[in-house]
Structure 1
Amino acid sequence: MNEGRREIVQLVFALVGIVFLVKLFFVQVLDNKYAELADGNAILREVEYPFRGLIYDRNNKLIVYNTPEYDLNVVMKDVKNFDSLRFCAVFKLTQEELRAKFKEVKGRKKQYSPFKPMLFLNQLSHVDFARVQDHLDEFPGFYIQARTTRAYQSPSLANALGYVSEISKDNLARDQSGIYKQGDYVGQSGIEAFYEEQLRGKRGVRFKLRNVKGIEKGTFKNGEYDTLSIPGANLYTGIDVDLQQYGEFLMQGKAGSIVAIEPSSGEILSLVSGPSYDPSLLTGRNYSSNFKLISNDTLKPLFNRPLMAQYRPGSIFKIAQAMTALQEKVITPDTRIRCDRSIINCHGAHSNEDLRGAIANSCNPYFHNVLRRMLNKGVVNDPFEDTRVGLAEWNKHILSFGFG
């Protein structure tokens, strides 16, 4: 019995030894992965950022698109023989700024690792990139990461569109999805924030070989382990950008808002907030200084007046009143009512107006009398009951407009 157990144990060890030898043969002879690393190459995991979705108006006119920019990343363990003076000269930094950047990178706590790429300088323009790309081999451990930022066809729709910027530390800490990393861009307000999930896309990853000088030597294993990024979905809005630009032209030098709505569908055709700002100011490396400048503007251009301000309905309500009265057939477009100011005051110089004139001049006595006609139609003999029935009908119509 003991002899049989001994043979089983010996057989198990023999099988394990054979498997080990086969694996060793595969690694050393058939698999060139380790041969590549033995030549002094390093595998670098590089994130491939997706293209954020484009934004169009109702007539397929492009409103928001993407433009290339570049980040400078660093793998701290690969930084060797670092010439700080030369680095500052190439990247136009002071020694104090350089020390602050290294301190900031190492202070990222959970995000920091000397073995993985860390964001060092972000949002280098194509001009910056052209200036520094020939000098990167002088600084082992540093490399360029291509990505995109938002660009705008015109300065219209700034408040409605919102803007995109780097995710803040607070928002990153609150993110439960695990989707976002330090340095990622997110929509901060407006359409960009509301449709963030649809617009952002999905990042990919590429594994590249780089030699000790940081020079790229090709893909690792011919891209076998790479995943492609997935671009964000394009967004088609109900906005008419030509109408929007006209509204913004009318609002120049004024504080207020204009909202144009398609009555048949409820689509927003125009959403003007005045004063506004150029959304391109909130992209690029000058975002922080520009945001502070715009935020401190006493006219509050970041305040989205159509959606955030509170205005009394005023004369706008007279349009709903007129449509209700026409529906109830208590007036016609040609009905004339004298602007008698004995009960309720009015403004401007006008007297006997039809409906069109009453709306154009916002005549208070006209619509006061229209309301009285709707509440006292004579459908029942009791005047109090008649008023109650008329008020109920009036209320039903007004609620159908979305008031209340």
Structure 2
Amino acid sequence: MNDQRPVVIIIFIFSVGLILLIKLFSIQVVDDSFMKRAERNAVQRVVDHPYRGLIYDRNGKLLVYNNPIFDLMLVPQEFEVGDTTRFLELFGISKENLIEAYNAAKKYSWVKPSPLIKQISTTDFARIQDYLIDYPGLFVMTRSVRAYPQPVASHALGYIGEINARQLENDTTNYYSQGDYVGLSGLERYYEQVLRGRKGVKYKMVNVRGVDKGPFKDGEYDTASVAGTNLTSTIDMELQRYGEMLMAGKTGSVVAIEPKTGEILSMISAPFYDPNQLTGSEFGKTYTALNRMETKPLFNRPIMAKYPPGSIFKVVQSLIGLQDGILTPETTFACNRSLVACHNHPSPVNLFGAIRNSCNPYYHQAFRKIINREISSNTYKDTEIGLNDWREKVMKFGLGTSLGVDITGELGGDVPSSKLYDRFYGEGRWKYSTIYSLSIGQGELQVTPIQMANLAAIFANKGYFYTPHLVKAVNGDPNQIPEKFRIKRDVGVDAHHFDMIQDAMAEALYGTAARAIIQDIVVAGKTGTAQNPHGEDHSVFVAFAPKDDPKIAIAVYVENAGWGGRAAASTASLMIEKYLRGSINRQALEEYVLVGNFKN
């Protein structure tokens, strides 16, 4: 009897195990009621996307806000459609798009949500929301797109769009997911981490029909989203809007800066576009259409277009010559037109007269003295040494390299070095007569409009500048803007040299830009006519005002508009008057600019 006990125990254990296996098989394979019961109350993870920070102008006027939109999300494992025709009609989607979205969702994940229809408007969402309960596996995720109460400053503000694969791959923070929106240009891109906020997550119970059954474990695992930080822009919305009105139908740039701070008051790239066009579900189609236009409205001219500075550069030449002791206010040269063409004016002229009358032969001769100092007995070597020394001084004025403005894509322009001419002509095979066009701001010299506006700020400040920037405060605190925008940068020219320069620039208006004169406001300015080998010359003007206490420095480029004293000077003068007085008293000049006939 005792010998049979182990056998009984083994049989008992085997029997119990067999019973359990049979029961488990029945539960898992034969009867799926338990699985269905579990699925009836699934836990759904919903990302709570934060609102992006708002952007205001310098006076507290709203420039950018958020509009709610809705993405219809699909969970492939749960998705069921009975009447396909009715579904397509209700949700306004084609059968091909439905199949494509469903297959893409399955490829991404069988159990994770993917977008079925993106950026549904508030109106359309109100129409479809009552039908969502009829389709398991569908739910709505709330997002927001940008909106603009005034359609201005599109190039400065930038736009947001759906993150692409390369950006996702480069996201070392693992913050973004497929379908997220991200700043793609302008302030939206530069201050992305400030504006984006922080995502939250909510876990909720839903039954098999997608009906919300409340938070999972009373929201114990939920985290709230945190809205993005607001920015106060340096832009003056009224000045920006007025400038865009003046530049409508033209091609060019306007950049206005507050000299004492480097704050950009207005940044206009013409032609421009309504920033509201690059929002919502039509973003891709509209972007493609804008990108294909011959006028290039997406091209950000103030920071990307490169032009020869023309006669405006003569002021920089004057300051370098004064600082090095090569020129003095009394230095006099004849207006020798056999050297380079010039217009009619008294001759000879001293430095004051050269600035006032924009005398080309004066700067041809002055630049030769700056470059060829007989440091070497070899003429070619002497020019090389002088050019490299001159280039180093020019670059202190913020030329030849990007200034570091707070929007991406800024180009640096070009200040030629001896290495450039060595490549062109061969080492030791060029001299002053090869490069003399640099004397009057032509040749290989290239600047961007924002660099020209910064030059105007330097002339106004008597020798220093702050890096131009578009944000005045972060979350209301001016000390939170990047430190580089609060660093004073000296250009290496003593302040007293600017006294005569400023007086000459104020007097120059009477000689070359009479339209820029404003009654009771002393404007100091300089015209330029930048040569354009592809057509009509570009009209250029820089100025600051009031001369003795500058509050605005401005650069205007109007492409193919000819002489700087007409299109550019007139536009700049009206912008200055608008900013300093708040209104325009010279309606005839305003009409002249709006019409755009700059032949006389």
* 1:71-127 CA-partner distances (Å, limit 9, x unpaired): 10112222235332111011111212211221222233xxx2x22222211100111
Paired residue for 1:76? 76
Hey, what does 2:115 align to over in structure 1?
119
- Which segment drifts farther, 99-108 or 83-92? 99-108
Q: Tell me the SS of whatever aligns to 1:258.
A: strand
State which of 146, 159, 184 in structure 2 corresponds to 1:188.
184
The whole-number CA distance in structure 1 between the counterparts of 2:170 and 2:390 is 48
Equivalent residue number for residue 258 of structure 2: 262
What residue number does 2:246 align with?
A: 250
With over 3 angstroms needed to count, the CA separation of the structure-2 counterparts of 1:75 and 1:264, relative to structure 1, is same
CA distance in 2, matches of 1:392, 1:41: 76
Query: Are residue 107 (structure 1) and residue 103 (structure 2) matched?
Result: no
Distance 1:321 1:267, change over 3 A: farther
1:208 matched to which residue of 2?
204
1:164 is aligned to 2:176: no
* In 2, Cα distance between equivalents of 1:127 and 1:359: 62
Q: CA deviation at 1:181?
A: 0.6
Tell me which residue corresponds to 2:470.
none
SS in 1 for 2:306: coil
TM-score, structure 2 as length reference: 0.52
- Return the alpha-carbon distance in structure 1 between the equivalents of residues 264 and 144 of structure 2: 29
CA gap 1:337/1:154 in 2 versus in 1, 3 angstroms: farther
Q: Tell me how far apart the structure 2 counterparts of residues 300 and 357 of structure 1 sit (CA, whole Å).
A: 40
Using a 3 Å threshold, how does the CA distance of structure 1 residues 391 and 181 change in structure 2: closer, same or farther? Answer: closer
Question: How far apart are the structure 2 equivalents of 1:282 and 1:140?
Answer: 33
Shift of 1:290: 0.7
Tell me the equivalent position of 1:331. Answer: 329
Partner of 2:273: helix, strand, or coil? coil
The change in CA–CA distance for 1:400 and 1:140 in structure 2 (over 3 A counts) is: same
Residue 33 of structure 1 corresponds to: none
Matched, 1:197 2:207: no
Aligned to 1:301: 297
Deviation at 1:167, TM superposition (A): 0.7
Q: What residue identity is the alignment partner of 2:307?
A: Y
User: Distance between the aligned counterparts of 1:360 and 1:292, measured in 2?
Assistant: 47
2:55 maps to which residue?
55
> Per-residue deviation at 1:395?
7.6
Are 2:88 and 1:88 aligned? yes
SS in structure 2 opposite 1:43?
strand
Distance 1:82 1:320, change over 3 A: farther
Matches within 5 A, 1:1-400: 40-108=40-108, 112=109, 114-321=110-317, 330-331=328-329, 341-347=337-343, 350-351=345-346, 362-365=358-361, 367=363, 398-400=394-396
Q: Does the CA contact (< 8 Å) of 1:338 and 1:351 recur in 2?
A: no
Q: Does the 8 Å contact 2:335/2:362 carry over to 1? A: yes
Cα distance, 1:375 vs structure 2: 9.4
1:269 alignment partner AA: L
Instruction: Say if 1:185 and 1:359 are closer, same or farther in 2 by CA, change over 3 A.
Output: farther
Q: Summarize the Cα distance change of 1:198–1:357 in structure 2 as closer, same or farther, 3 Å threshold.
A: farther
Using the TM superposition, give the Cα deviation of residue 321 of structure 1 relative to its aligned residue in structure 2, in angstroms.
4.2
- Opposite residue 93 of structure 1, the aligned amino acid is I
The residue type equivalent to 2:328 in the other structure is V
Name the CA shift for 1:223/1:400 in 2 (closer, same or farther; >3 Å).
same
Going from structure 1 to structure 2, the CA distance change for 1:83 and 1:256 (only over 3 Å counts) comes to same
Instruction: Report the aligned-residue RMSD.
Output: 3.5
Q: CA deviation at 1:402?
A: 2.4
Moved more, 202-211 or 80-89: 80-89
SS at match of 2:239: helix
Letter in 2 for 1:60: G
SS in 1 for 2:262: coil
Show CA shifts across 1:193-248 (max 9, x none). 12112211111011122222222232222221110111112122322233322332
Distance 2:352 2:128 in 1: 66
Structure 1 distance, partners of 2:72, 2:352, is: 63
In structure 1, what is the Cα distance between the partners aligned to 2:351 and 2:142? 61
Give, in whole Å, the separation in 2 of the partners of 1:342 and 1:104: 72
Which residue matches 1:386? Answer: none
Question: Would you say the 8 A contact 2:255–2:267 is kept in 1?
Answer: yes
CA drift of 1:374 comes to 8.3
Q: For the residues of structure 1 that align with 2:87 and 2:304, how far apart are their CA atoms?
A: 47
Deviation at 1:366, TM superposition (A): 5.5
Deviations 1:263-313 (A, max 9, x none): 323332222211122222111111111111011111111111121222112
SS of the aligned residue for 2:155 comes to helix
Shift of the 399–96 alpha-carbon distance from structure 1 to 2, 3 Å rule, reads closer
Amino acid in structure 1 at the alignment position of 2:294: T
Identity of aligned residues (%): 48
**Conservation of the 8 A alpha-carbon contact between 1:71 and 1:145:** yes
Contact 1:325 1:331 in 2 (8 A): no
Q: Is the 8 A contact 1:331 1:370 kept in 2?
A: no
CA distance in 1, matches of 2:312, 2:92: 56
Distance (whole Å) between structure 1 residues aligned to residue 391 and residue 129 of structure 2? 69
2:293 partner SS: coil
Give structure 1 stretches of 5+ with no counterpart. Answer: 1-36, 377-389
SS at match of 2:244: helix
1:244–1:326 CA distance, 2 compared to 1 (3 A): farther
- Worse-matched range after superposition: 144-153 or 248-257: 248-257
Q: State the Cα distance separating 1:351 from its structure 2 match.
A: 4.6
How far, CA to CA, are the matches of 1:324 and 1:221 in structure 2? 73
